[in-house]
A = this chain, B = another copy of it.
Amino acid sequence: MFKAFTETTAYQELTQLAKSPYDLTASGALQNNERLSRYICRSSLLDLHYCTERLDDRVLAALQKLADELQLVEQFKMMRRGAYLNNIEGFESETRQVLHTACRDLFGSVPAESSATEEAKNELAKLKKFLEDIDRGIVCNHLGERFDTMVHVGIGGSDLGPRSIYEALQGYRVAGRNVCFIANVDPDDAARVLAGVNLERSLVTIVSKSGTTLETLTNERLVRDALQQQGLDARQHCISVTGAGSPMDNPSDYLQSFLMFDYIGGRFSSTSMVGAVMLGFSIGYDRLTEFLEGASVIDLLAEEVQLQKNLPLLLAMIGIWNRNFLGHETLAVLPYSQSLHRFPAHLQQCDMESNGKSIDRFGRAVPYETGPIIWGEPGTNGQHAFYQLLHQGTTVVPAEFIGFRRAQRGLDLQVEGSTSQQKLVANLLAQVIAMAVGQASDNPNRNFPGNRPSCLLMADRLTPQVMGALLAVYEAKIAFQGFAWNINSFDQEGVQLGKQLATTFLEAMNNRSGSRQSLARDFLTQVLDEV
């Protein structure tokens, strides 16, 4: 159906160009040829500065050609319009549409795929009514008191996205409301959260598309048990977010159910009810709408064919340049905002579960590298942690910095002639330049080789709208890279073997029969020290 990555003419060109990548340490390298002002992709909510990547106009032209040959924008358009892109041709696979974008395709006159957007609108209308009922005290506890806490129970895609966005937008919370998260099957996770909340005043949102996720069902039971022990009626407290017809789509067990759809993968579900219920509760419906609008702005931008105007496509192609042509295995995502402290963990999931694949969309082994290892922590904290390796290690780590001109909250102070926000931005820009330019020294321990590529995503302020945009930039980037590598970014067969073996180990623990029993039992005996 689509051309293979390595069969494009652009692939050959880029391979040649990679033999002498742009030298960022040369004299004037950043100021030559108006690089600082030309290598910016500006959009209404976010700018991408890429002057500190190891590329030049020839590389950009070849990347444009690669995107064109591989029909990346065309594929993105097909995705938004309902093509069955979650598929492996010729083998049993999920064979589903990929329509997370439909959840926010609410702001133009004609949606790209109208039935999915219609379904999203129905759920949003239900949510709006439900939130109003909470505000008005119509939905309340058995004493007629208002709910002030939400306990969000989910794992993976039902946890990391919502959690990171909640953390990011804490500054916009409705006064007095907070959200706690339980994810891990480790019983200490639920124990800790339950020790810190007043369940009487809590709504519990349980999120599982299939209604059968082991961790989530187990944690639901722990929470229901705790409710019962306090003499509370679980049905007055529990909400479900699940697929239609799942065991959790059951009005006798839940105060309210919101629907998920099979055309939205867990890791892309933050703008569906998976994120929306929790976010609507914590920041209110209007701000939830702003968040969705921010994402929709980027979805439209992603259909632009000119690489240098299409911010997510450009970010994706720069990633491919670094990964496949310059040979870098990892990517650090470094937000200079404490509010984004869990955003790298969400991207780690969204990117690595999507593109950590070795076969193409025809089931053939790919002869090139696919998704990199994504990791990161917020700056300036990271500067005092792992940046030593970024500057002077033997491995080059490309970085994507994220920054904001203004703080989210109001508290700040001048210390030694500058505010904290000024110090934060100064440090951010300093790192971008330091990694690129480096510094020579007679003391070899103070020598910085430079030529460590990075780019900078810059926005004015971390508002709900900007958060939506940032999320959509990465969702689109991941999709574009998957299209380029000709892999199916939307399944996750790699998680199945571990699940099967976990069952085998549980059987071995309980002395029941099962396949591979003997290896499982032998290992178990050693690990549990029951020799």
Cβ A523 vs Cβ B433 within 8 A: yes
What are 11 residue pairs bridging A and B, where the CB atoms are less than 8 Å apart in the complex?
Answer: A31-B519, A40-B526, A215-B423, A222-B420, A387-B494, A388-B494, A405-B529, A426-B505, A429-B524, A430-B504, A430-B505
Cβ A192 vs Cβ B215 within 8 A: no
Cβ B370 vs Cβ A458 within 8 A: no
Which of A54-62, A344-352, A470-478 lies at the binding interface?
A344-352
Cβ A338 vs Cβ B389 within 8 A: no
Copies in the complex: 2
CA of A118 to CA of B329, assembled, Å: 47
Cβ B393 vs Cβ A356 within 8 A: yes
Cβ B501 vs Cβ A434 within 8 A: yes
Judge if A497 is at the interface, Cβ distance under 8 Å. yes
CA of A395 to CA of B492, assembled, Å: 16
Given contacts A389-B371, A417-B510, contact A184 B443 (CB under 8 A): no
Which of A68-76, A131-139, A233-241, A444-452 lies at the binding interface?
A444-452
Find chain B residues with CB under 8 A from A91 CB. Answer: 443-445
Cβ A385 vs Cβ B497 within 8 A: no
Cβ B377 vs Cβ A345 within 8 A: yes
Judge if A109 is at the interface, Cβ distance under 8 Å. no
Judge if A292 is at the interface, Cβ distance under 8 Å. no
Find chain B residues with CB under 8 A from A509 CB. Answer: 418, 422, 425-426
Find chain B residues with CB under 8 A from A495 CB. Answer: 383-384, 387-388, 391
Judge if A467 is at the interface, Cβ distance under 8 Å. no
CA of A507 to CA of B164, assembled, Å: 34
List A134-165 residues whose CB lies under 8 Å from chain B: 155-157, 159-160
Judge if A506 is at the interface, Cβ distance under 8 Å. yes
Given contacts A363-B445, A444-B359, contact A222 B392 (CB under 8 A): no
Cβ B444 vs Cβ A409 within 8 A: no
Judge if A375 is at the interface, Cβ distance under 8 Å. yes
Given contacts A156-B381, A385-B345, A388-B494, contact A191 B429 (CB under 8 A): no
* Residue from the list B413, B433, B492 in contact with A388, Cβ < 8 A: B492
Judge if A15 is at the interface, Cβ distance under 8 Å. no
Closest to A366 in B: B394
Find chain B residues with CB under 8 A from A448 CB. Answer: 494, 497
Judge if A170 is at the interface, Cβ distance under 8 Å. yes
CA of A316 to CA of B444, assembled, Å: 26
Cβ B433 vs Cβ A380 within 8 A: no
Closest to A338 in B: B189
Interface size class of A (residues with CB under 8 A): 35 or more
Judge if A100 is at the interface, Cβ distance under 8 Å. no
Find chain B residues with CB under 8 A from A378 CB. Answer: 184, 186
Cβ B384 vs Cβ A523 within 8 A: no
CA of A126 to CA of B422, assembled, Å: 39
Cβ B157 vs Cβ A384 within 8 A: yes
Given contacts A506-B423, A526-B36, contact A159 B381 (CB under 8 A): yes
CA of A526 to CA of B405, assembled, Å: 12
Judge if A190 is at the interface, Cβ distance under 8 Å. yes
Judge if A502 is at the interface, Cβ distance under 8 Å. yes
Cβ B456 vs Cβ A188 within 8 A: no
Given contacts A36-B522, A523-B36, contact A388 B353 (CB under 8 A): yes
Judge if A185 is at the interface, Cβ distance under 8 Å. yes
Find chain B residues with CB under 8 A from A293 CB. Answer: none
Q: What are the interface flags for A181-205 relative to B under an 8 Å C-beta threshold, 1 for contact and 0 otherwise?
A: 0011111111110100000000000
Judge if A218 is at the interface, Cβ distance under 8 Å. yes
CB distance from A163 to the nearest CB of B (A): 10
Find chain B residues with CB under 8 A from A500 CB. Answer: 430
Closest 7 CB pairs of A and B: A356-B389, A156-B384, A430-B501, A349-B385, A356-B393, A426-B505, A392-B494
Judge if A336 is at the interface, Cβ distance under 8 Å. yes
CA of A349 to CA of B91, assembled, Å: 44
Find chain B residues with CB under 8 A from A303 CB. Answer: none
Q: What are the interface flags for A294-330 relative to B under an 8 Å C-beta threshold, 1 for contact and 0 otherwise?
A: 0000000000000000000000000000000000011
Judge if A260 is at the interface, Cβ distance under 8 Å. no
Cβ B510 vs Cβ A380 within 8 A: no
Give 12 new A-B contacts, CB below 8 A, not counting A370-B394, A383-B498: A47-B527, A156-B385, A184-B379, A186-B420, A188-B407, A218-B413, A218-B415, A219-B420, A358-B449, A370-B393, A433-B523, A446-B496
Cβ A372 vs Cβ B353 within 8 A: no
Closest to A365 in B: B444
Given contacts A155-B381, A338-B184, contact A214 B522 (CB under 8 A): no
Find chain B residues with CB under 8 A from A526 CB. Answer: 36-37, 40, 49
Most chain B beta-carbon contacts within 10 A, residue among A194, A222, A496: A496
Cβ B352 vs Cβ A386 within 8 A: yes
Closest to A337 in B: B186
Find chain B residues with CB under 8 A from A30 CB. Answer: 519, 523
CB distance from A48 to the nearest CB of B (A): 11
